[in-house]
């Protein structure tokens, strides 16, 4: 009996195998699947129309300003240019391809916003509700306003009142990145009431990633993989470490083409994704509502549109650039509404740019430091596809005002202001002196051996540089240092960004390093009152 059953099972297995082979053969004959489909997909798409842009890229590579570039363009639901140039790894002589993963830094925010809106559509969250409702026991510190008033929407469009914050830890360092909880405890503070001021804040998106994990009961990384990347057919995209993906990522290089170590995951939902040009243009096509055959409709068209038009007058970036839900947008750049996000970190630059009305997506990925190049390449592509784009762009630039006007002394500011910088390691007493000649002096006491001592006539005196003003908001930088262990990792300058409210100034001072490797901005709350 046992032998009979075994033979029967064996016969069943043979029949199943024959059926599967027959089915596959029929599908091949019917043209439903192709044994060369994957190979075809991996091939670049050359488009002579973009030869001028290609020449621009090759000139940069030959001039050794970048090691490689990967570019993708989609028009009307089809990829029309998909090509890579240069070296993904210069030392190992590995060429870049359209499927080579690059660090995309802050373009991660567009992916995080997509996941947040997916949860909103499913009724798991309400973006109008306080974020603290979903991240218990995590709380923001409110130096201004009330943390309970910070909604998910405020975090999505950077109007939560949080300060600027960006930081990278590298694999060859002794430092270990803090957890999200530790980072929020140190730097998750409000310098303005929610809804008052736009301030690009990585910690806001880090908190959104934390919210995703709390609401779904799975990690942010796994949720993005299973609910966003896989349904959208993004096989070479992931969030986390450079070692977590299915294929090797590009090496990263500084402006001298010296190697920069990979960064450890930190504020993951704000900037720790890797993607290829091919994957990223498909992500862009989804947000153009192209409904590709190999993509699931994870968001409704209505929600996609809302992400690109979530206009909030306080979410104004510069000029006519605003921030929606995971996208910068401008209602008329070169005569067209454009939506985009850029990414930047030591050794990597990227941009994903959309023109929804024309159904155009442009992707540029670099593994070098050349900061303006992705934007230049994207504009060069649009200039070819939209003949009136450049001409309109030049007209729009005429008469545009800078983000800040030069500061000129006024009675409201002139005088001495006294206060403190608040850090997680203690307060730092400071003064700001606004002189009648327009100079602004920043003075602080020095902490030496943890004892407050006075030097140089009692105070450390530095002049505020490149001082600007806009609507009682003062901005500038000073040669000074913030005495916390986090800030002392590398030499930095201190950026001052304060707003006047009567006889009170409040805002942030930030330890900022623009070094190509140790690229960081750590902010601290500052509050001063006018004493004479």
Contact (CB, 8 A) for 516 and 347: yes
* 72 beta partners: 82, 363
What is the model's pLDDT at position 169? 87
Q: What is the pLDDT of residue 460?
A: 59
Q: Are 194 and 159 in contact (CB under 8 A)?
A: yes
Looking at the domain covering 103-397, what would its CATH class be?
alpha beta
User: CA 365, 371, 374: angle at the middle one, nearest 5?
Assistant: 35
Find out whether 526 and 420 touch, Cβ atoms under 8 Å: yes
In three-state secondary structure terms, 261 is: coil
State the pTM of this model.
Answer: 0.88
Is residue 499 within 8 Å of 473, Cβ to Cβ? yes
* pLDDT given at position 310: 67
Give the position of tokens 């830890």. 169
Instruction: Give every CB contact of residue 294 below 8 A, 6+ residues apart in sequence.
Output: 233
DSSP string, 121-175: HTTS--TTSBGGGTSTT---EESSS-GGG-BHHHHHTT-SSBPPEE--EETTSS-
Q: Mind listing the pLDDT tens digit of every residue in the chain (532 residues)?
A: 333 333 334 333 333 333 333 333 333 333 333 333 344 456 899 999 999 999 999 999 999 999 999 999 999 999 999 999 999 999 999 999 999 999 999 999 999 999 999 999 999 999 999 999 999 999 999 999 999 999 999 999 999 999 999 888 888 888 888 999 999 999 999 999 999 888 999 999 999 999 999 999 999 999 999 999 999 999 999 999 999 999 999 999 999 999 999 988 889 999 999 999 999 999 999 999 999 999 999 999 999 999 998 666 665 566 678 899 999 999 899 999 999 999 999 899 999 999 999 999 999 999 998 889 999 999 999 999 998 999 998 888 765 666 788 999 999 999 999 999 999 999 999 999 999 999 999 887 644 443 333 344 444 568 899 999 988 999 999 988 888 988 888 888 999 999 999 999 999 999 998 777 767 899 999 999 999 9
Beta carbons of 328 and 158 less than 8 angstroms apart = no
Q: What SS3 class is residue 178? A: coil
Q: How many residues does the chain have?
A: 532
CATH fold of the domain at 405-530? Lipocalin (2.40.128)
In the numeric block, the tokens 């026991």 are attached to 137
The string of DSSP letters for 431-458 reads EEEE-TTS-EEEEE-EEETTEEE--STT
| pLDDT the model gives residue 40 | 40
Q: Which residues make Cβ contacts (< 8 Å) with residue 454, sequence separation at least 6?
A: 445, 446
Q: Give the model's pLDDT for residue 312.
A: 66
Dist. CA 288–CA 449, nearest whole Å: 58
Which ranges in the chain are annotated with CATH 3.40.710.10?
103-397
What is the three-class DSSP state of 236?
A: coil
Which residues have CB under 8 Å from 414's CB, separation 6+? Answer: 434, 435, 436
Domain with CATH 2.40.128.120 in the chain: 405-530
């Amino acid at each position: 009996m046992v032998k009979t059953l075994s033979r029967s099972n064996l016969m069943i297995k043979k029949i199943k195998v024959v059926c599967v082979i027959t089915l596959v053969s029929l599908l091949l004959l019917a043209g439903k699947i192709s044994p060369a489909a994957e190979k075809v997909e991996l091939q670049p798409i050359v488009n002579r129309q973009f030869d001028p842009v290609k020449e621009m890229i090759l000139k940069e590579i030959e001039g050794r300003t970048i090691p490689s570039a990967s570019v993708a363009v989609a028009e009307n639901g089809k990829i029309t240019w998909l090509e890579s140039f240069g070296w993904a790894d210069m030392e190992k002589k590995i060429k870049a391809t359209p499927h080579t993963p690059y660090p995309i830094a802050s373009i991660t925010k567009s992916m995080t916003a997509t996941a947040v809106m997916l949860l909103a559509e499913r009724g798991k969250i309400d973006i109008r509700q306080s974020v603290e409702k979903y991240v218990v026991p995590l709380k923001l510190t409110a130096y201004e306003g009330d943390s309970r008033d910070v909604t998910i929407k405020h975090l999505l469009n950077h109007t939560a009142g949080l300060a600027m914050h960006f930081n990278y830890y590298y694999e060859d360092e002794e430092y270990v990145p803090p957890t999200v909880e530790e980072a929020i405890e140190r730097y998750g503070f409000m310098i303005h009431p929610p809804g008052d001021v736009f301030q690009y804040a990585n910690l806001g998106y880090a908190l959104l990633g934390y919210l995703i994990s709390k609401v779904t009961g799975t990690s942010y990384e796994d949720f993005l993989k299973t609910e966003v990347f896989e349904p959208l057919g993004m096989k070479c995209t992931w969030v986390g470490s450079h070692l977590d993906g299915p294929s090797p990522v590009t090496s990263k290089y500084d402006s001298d083409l010296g190697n920069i170590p990979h960064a450890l995951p930190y504020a993951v939902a704000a900037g720790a994704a890797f993607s290829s040009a091919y994957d990223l243009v498909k992500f862009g096509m989804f947000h153009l509502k192209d409904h590709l055959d190999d993509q699931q409709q994870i968001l409704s068209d209505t929600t996609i549109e809302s992400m690109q038009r979530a206009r909030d007058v306080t979410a104004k970036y510069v000029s006519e650039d605003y921030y929606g839900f995971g996208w910068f947008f401008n209602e008329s750049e070169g005569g067209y509404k454009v939506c985009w996000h850029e990414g930047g970190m030591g050794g990597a630059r990227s941009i994903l740019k959309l023109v929804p009305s024309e159904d155009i997506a442009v992707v540029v990925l670099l593994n070098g430091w050349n900061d303006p190049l992705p934007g230049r390449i994207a504009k060069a592509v649009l200039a070819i596809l939209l003949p009136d784009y450049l001409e309109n762009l030049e007209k729009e630039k005429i008469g545009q005002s800078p983000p800040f006007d030069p500061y000129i002394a006024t009675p409201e500011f002139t005088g001495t202001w006294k206060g403190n910088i608040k850090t997680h390691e203690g307060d730092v007493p400071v003064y700001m002196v606004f002189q009648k000649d327009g100079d602004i002096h920043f003075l602080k006491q020095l902490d030496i051996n943890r004892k407050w001592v006075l030097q140089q006539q009692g105070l450390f005196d530095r002049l505020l540089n490149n001082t600007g003003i806009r609507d009682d908001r003062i901005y500038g930088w000073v040669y000074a240092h913030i005495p916390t262990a986090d800030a002392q990792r590398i030499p930095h300058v201190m950026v001052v960004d304060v707003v006047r409210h009567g006889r009170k100034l409040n805002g942030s001072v930030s330890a900022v390093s623009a070094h190509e490797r140790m690229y960081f901005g750590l902010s601290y709350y500052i509050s001063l009152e006018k004493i004479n």
